[in-house]
Structure 1
Amino acid sequence: MSETLQTSLLRLSDWGVIRAQGADAAAFLHTQLTQDFALLDREHARLAGFCTAKGRLLATMVGWRGGDDEILLALPAETLAATLKRLSMFVMRAKCKLSDASQEFAVYGLLGAPTTEAWTLVRDGDAVQITLPGSGRALRVQPASSPAPAGAAMSSDDWAVAEAAAGMAWVRGATVEAFVPQMINFEVLGGVNFKKGCYPGQEIVARSQYRGTLKRRLQVFKTDGAAEIGQEIFNSADPEQPAGVVAGCGSRDGRTVIAAEIRLAALEGGSLHLGSAAGATLQHCPLPYDIPPQD
């Protein structure tokens, strides 16, 4: 792997890693997450969600094969402990041991990385580099004891802006159980396999997909106001009830980029505002990918 292409990087200290180890590790995760882990190869990663029985996302993560009989899951640290505890409740007789491996790994966000198909995985010794949606974005996960990869330092603001502009948001502490996967375009980004077997919430996720009832979607906005994840969004034509919620955001040069789950009808009239109908005005921006039309 050519490190000269890694133009800028940030250690994501707010991310952690769960290890699933054992002969049944992939099969167990296959029954719990929204993606297919049974057929996961060593050249790809999986975007996946962990849902409640009602189809609401408890966590979102990226998974890949590590060593023998090992799956590693990288996810925001604020949802890791609860995810690990809940997953462990369902292991039962499966030959799978779950543990928090965060201290063993360093997770980096990269901008300017080689652009390949999203979720492509390249191995570099003990490190892996996973292409994310959006031009030149990647996650790199390596042993914590390894030197930082080559590249210029990047600010957390730069990374957060790039995440939001890519139309991608991770479940954070403030948004646990706030979304079914389609509300944050998770299936469009490769996070849901509708052909796999059952997992918690599978019936509701599938029903939302095939009955054409998707009334809320992730959209990208810009604003001059400061935003925070979990903050509500209001429409001037209906100021009494929220029209959406901030799922991801970042600020740079006095402007904030927001990835927000929004009621689609709220885009058809009135203006959108942050925090209240009198808050900062949101400017709707095109998504960097297409949303398939509903049947």
Structure 2
Amino acid sequence: MNDWIARIGGRLEDGARVVFDTPEPARRALEGPVMSPLVHLGILDVVGDGAERFLQGQTSAQLSLVDGEFAPLGCFCTPKGRVLANVQLWRVAPNHYRLLTHHELVASLAEHLAKFAPFYRVELTPRDDLALIGLFGHEAPAVAEALLDVEPPGAWRQVEREALQVVGHPGPVTRMLLCLPTADAEATWSRLAAQVTPVDSATWRLHDIQAGLVWLDASQRDSYLPQMINWEALGGISFKKGCYTGQEVVARAHFRGQVKKRLMRAQLEGEQLPEPGSAVLDAADKRLGEVLSAELDAYGQAEILAVMSTREPKEPLSVAGQKLKLLKLPYPLERLDPEQLAEKH
């Protein structure tokens, strides 16, 4: 499945990280176009005549908006409103939808949805035969046009050319996720390599952190309301659609203002990367929350996303013995309807 990564000079570490011998990869992303395989993410396909109705009843996304151009966020929840998987959705063809999520959650999401799939005559297929490549940087749009012959999509938009699909993600620089058959990955990579520098996948993950975007993994499954990972601020929850699993709890938390924890962005004074789940402590060593993701920035300091209490903390804050400084999120913590987001482009 990932054999092509070694052939392009990459090393797979810890099962979900790709490393290249590129000097200062985080800085490279600021200087020019870069690319990396994104093996920490995975794909689940939903296909069948009832696919739209099926997903409409299971996810927070408004499926009528997933039209082949708009590729919004969504999430699948338990009846208690806890997130089983947060996803990006796009339409490949009529009655064929693609779900992007953390690779550790593809199998469990398929198993969860399989309980309802027969009633809608849909098939659920984990796509181990697809490769995901992140293409990003200020010059990435020009590269996409010149070398891939596609018009660069904006955030949460999609374009395609034959078997290649390109979806836009937010971030400090232009970011595009390429989805293509694994059989085509090596040739596409070689074509891009004429103008694009390979970098570690940690650089893409750092830009997720800087975008205030987290992809929950298996250890974080069934732990948070969607609002606790700022999903409604990213346009990942439609409050205008009908019922879906967990909808009542999610809506109640929103309209009654019952969300007491939020995803926050921070920087640590040190180079030690905390493990996911590491406690965020206040001055009295009281736990305020936990780290969800962490990467080193271009200056060698750790940046994190953590779910934390919204109450005013007693400073200084720390994680794993390192002082924590809160950073501003790139979006306001307020509801952004996907219906509004779809109209902006």
> Is TM more than 0.5 here?
yes
Which whole-Å CA distance do the structure 1 matches of 2:93 and 2:264 have between them? 37
Out of 122, 139, 152, the position equivalent to 1:96 is 122
Which 4+ residue blocks in structure 1 deviate beyond 6 angstroms? none
Which whole-Å CA distance do the structure 1 matches of 2:121 and 2:236 have between them? 25
Partner of residue 187, structure 1: 232
Out of 279, 283, 292, the position equivalent to 1:247 is 292
Question: Is the 1:188–1:291 Cα contact (8 Å) retained in structure 2?
Answer: yes
Partner of residue 168, structure 1: 213
Question: Is the 1:235–1:266 Cα contact (8 Å) retained in structure 2?
Answer: no
Partner of residue 277, structure 2: 230
Q: Root-mean-square deviation (CA), in Å?
A: 1.8
Per-residue CA distance 1:50-75 (angstroms, 9 max, x = gap) = 11111111111111111342111121
Partner of residue 20, structure 1: 46
Which whole-Å CA distance do the structure 2 matches of 1:18 and 1:90 have between them? 15
Which whole-Å CA distance do the structure 2 matches of 1:41 and 1:68 have between them? 9
Q: Which amino acid aligns with 2:292?
A: A
Partner of residue 256, structure 2: 211
Which whole-Å CA distance do the structure 2 matches of 1:13 and 1:78 have between them? 10
Per-residue CA distance 1:157-211 (angstroms, 9 max, x = gap) = 2122111111110111221122111111111111111111111111111111111
- Which residues in structure 2 correspond to 1:44-193 (within 5 Å)? 44-103=70-129, 105-112=130-137, 113-114=140-141, 117-134=154-171, 135-146=173-184, 147-149=187-189, 150=192, 151-193=196-238
Question: What is the TM-score of this pair, normalised by structure 2?
Answer: 0.77
Name the structure with the higher helix share. 2
Out of 32, 35, 40, the position equivalent to 2:66 is 40
Question: Is the 1:133–1:189 Cα contact (8 Å) retained in structure 2?
Answer: no
Partner of residue 3, structure 1: none
Which whole-Å CA distance do the structure 1 matches of 2:326 and 2:319 have between them? 12
Q: Which amino acid aligns with 1:124?
A: R
Which whole-Å CA distance do the structure 2 matches of 1:97 and 1:51 have between them? 20
Which whole-Å CA distance do the structure 1 matches of 2:188 and 2:253 have between them? 42
Question: What is the TM-score of this pair, normalised by structure 1?
Answer: 0.90
Question: Is the 2:265–2:306 Cα contact (8 Å) retained in structure 1?
Answer: yes
Which whole-Å CA distance do the structure 1 matches of 2:177 and 2:69 have between them? 14
Q: Which runs of 5+ in 1 are unaligned?
A: 1-5
Please report how far the alpha carbon of residue 216 of structure 1 lies from its aligned counterpart in structure 2 after TM superposition.
Answer: 1.4
Which segment is superposed worse, 193-202 or 145-154?
145-154
Q: Which amino acid aligns with 1:285?
A: L
Q: Secondary structure at the match of 1:197?
A: coil
Aligned length: 281
Please report how far the alpha carbon of residue 229 of structure 1 lies from its aligned counterpart in structure 2 after TM superposition.
Answer: 1.9
Please report how far the alpha carbon of residue 100 of structure 1 lies from its aligned counterpart in structure 2 after TM superposition.
Answer: 1.2
Please report how far the alpha carbon of residue 116 of structure 1 lies from its aligned counterpart in structure 2 after TM superposition.
Answer: 5.6
Q: Which amino acid aligns with 2:308?
A: I
Q: Secondary structure at the match of 1:192?
A: coil
Per-residue CA distance 1:11-38 (angstroms, 9 max, x = gap) = 1112221111111112101110110113
Out of 294, 298, 302, the position equivalent to 1:256 is 302
| 2:307 paired with 1:285 | no
Partner of residue 343, structure 2: none
Which whole-Å CA distance do the structure 1 matches of 2:281 and 2:222 have between them? 20
Partner of residue 14, structure 2: none
Which whole-Å CA distance do the structure 2 matches of 1:68 and 1:81 have between them? 24
Please report how far the alpha carbon of residue 266 of structure 1 lies from its aligned counterpart in structure 2 after TM superposition.
Answer: 4.3
Per-residue CA distance 1:95-141 (angstroms, 9 max, x = gap) = 211111222x1112222244864201121321111111223122211
Q: Secondary structure at the match of 1:38?
A: helix
Question: Is the 2:274–2:294 Cα contact (8 Å) retained in structure 1?
Answer: yes
Which whole-Å CA distance do the structure 2 matches of 1:232 and 1:181 have between them? 20
Please report how far the alpha carbon of residue 47 of structure 1 lies from its aligned counterpart in structure 2 after TM superposition.
Answer: 0.9
Q: Secondary structure at the match of 2:85?
A: strand
Which whole-Å CA distance do the structure 1 matches of 2:323 and 2:153 have between them? 35
